[in-house]
């Protein structure tokens, strides 16, 4: 009986750790995507500035 109870706790603990790892991975992916989109936006703005100055000449 006690072995079954310990096994049940181990399974629940493993599920919780896997869920936590997936949540952290998802949060990390969102963070990286935000950084990449910020870098992309700044590069797009630089290109737009360059084109504006080129067309003004």
Q: pLDDT tens-digit profile of 24-40?
A: 999 999 999 999 999 99
7 vs 40: CA distance, rounded Å: 49
**How many domains is the chain partitioned into structurally?**
1
| Res 6: pLDDT | 66
| Res 3: pLDDT | 63
35 vs 45: CA distance, rounded Å: 15
N- to C-terminal Cα separation, the chain: 85
Task: Give the pLDDT band of residue 51 (cuts 50, 70, 90).
Answer: confident
The range of the structural domain enclosing residue 29 comes to 1-56
Residue that wins the pLDDT comparison between 5 and 34? 34
Cα-only R_g, the chain: 25
Please say if the pLDDT value at position 2 is more than 70.
no
């Amino acid at each position: 009986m006690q072995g079954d109870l310990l096994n049940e706790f181990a399974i629940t603990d493993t599920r919780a750790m896997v869920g936590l790892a997936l949540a952290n991975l998802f949060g990390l992916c969102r963070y990286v995507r935000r950084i990449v989109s910020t870098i992309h936006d700044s590069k797009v703005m630089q290109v737009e500035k360059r084109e504006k100055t080129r067309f003004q000449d």
